[in-house]
């Protein structure tokens, strides 16, 4: 797989929502034709793998998603009260946190505002005002660790501290 295809795969995974070609070009820093070629390469690669994931073209853009045949697992494994978008937002906070709401919205899109509100109400996420800022710090709570039976999460690499 080409380096650009891998980069686009990472972008689709991290954003967790359909992205237009225009957005993929912007995030990947490439031209439109290269993005299209890389998407075709990715789609073929995922089709050949016959795994649980696929790159799909939706009305809203291209998306890295679970194949239809595995959707019953979502119903079994994802908490009933927590939608897939909110679950992905929770995962981003757990893996990258503590992080600011601004950084989260940049990573996950504007839907993260609603997800955070829902996650705070469910006590999975704690929201603290950041000093001298309009943004807030977000981090998972003890309830998150208990509910998802997570002992310890890997700490994000911070180049400033090394």
pLDDT digits (tens, 9 = 90+) for 123-135: 889 999 877 777 8
Residue 87, pLDDT > 80, answer: yes
| Mean pLDDT across the chain | 85
pLDDT of residue 154: 54
Domain boundaries of the chain, sorted by first residue: 3-70, 78-155
| pTM score, whole prediction | 0.51
Structural contact between residues 99 and 135, judged by C-beta atoms closer than 8 angstroms: no
pLDDT of residue 162: 40
Tell me if the domain spanning 78-155 has CATH number 3.20.20.70. no
pLDDT of residue 97: 77
Percent of the chain with pLDDT over 70: 87
Task: Give me the helices (H) in 16-155, please.
Answer: 21-28, 32-49, 71-77, 84-96, 101-108, 112-121, 142-147
- Cα 148 off chain centre by: 18
Q: What is the DSSP letter of 15?
A: H
Do 3-70 and 78-155 come out as alike in CATH topology? yes
CB atoms under 10 Å from CB of 2, counted, come to 12
CB atoms under 10 Å from CB of 73, counted, come to 11
Average confidence (pLDDT) over 74-91:
78
d(CA 72, CA 75): 5
The CATH number of 3-70 is 1.10.10.10
pLDDT of residue 152: 57
Structural contact between residues 64 and 125, judged by C-beta atoms closer than 8 angstroms: no
pLDDT of residue 161: 44
Range with top average pLDDT, 40-44, 63-67, 93-97, 151-155: 40-44
d(CA 110, CA 16): 12
């Amino acid at each position: 797989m080409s380096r650009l295809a891998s980069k686009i795969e990472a972008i689709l995974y991290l954003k967790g929502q359909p992205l237009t070609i225009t957005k993929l070009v912007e995030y990947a820093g490439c031209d439109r034709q290269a993005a299209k070629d890389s998407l075709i390469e990715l789609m073929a690669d995922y089709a050949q793998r016959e795994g649980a994931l696929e790159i799909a073209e939706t009305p809203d853009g291209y998306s890295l998603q679970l194949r239809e045949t595995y959707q019953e697992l979502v119903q079994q494994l994802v908490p009933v009260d927590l939608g897939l978008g909110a679950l992905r937002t929770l995962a981003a906070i757990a893996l990258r946190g503590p992080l600011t709401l601004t950084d989260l919205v940049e990573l996950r899109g504007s839907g993260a505002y609603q997800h955070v509100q829902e996650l705070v109400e469910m006590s999975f996420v704690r929201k603290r005002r950041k000093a001298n800022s309009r943004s807030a710090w977000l981090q998972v709570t003890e309830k998150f660790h208990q509910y998802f039976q997570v002992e310890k999460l890997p700490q994000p690499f911070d180049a400033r501290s090394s």
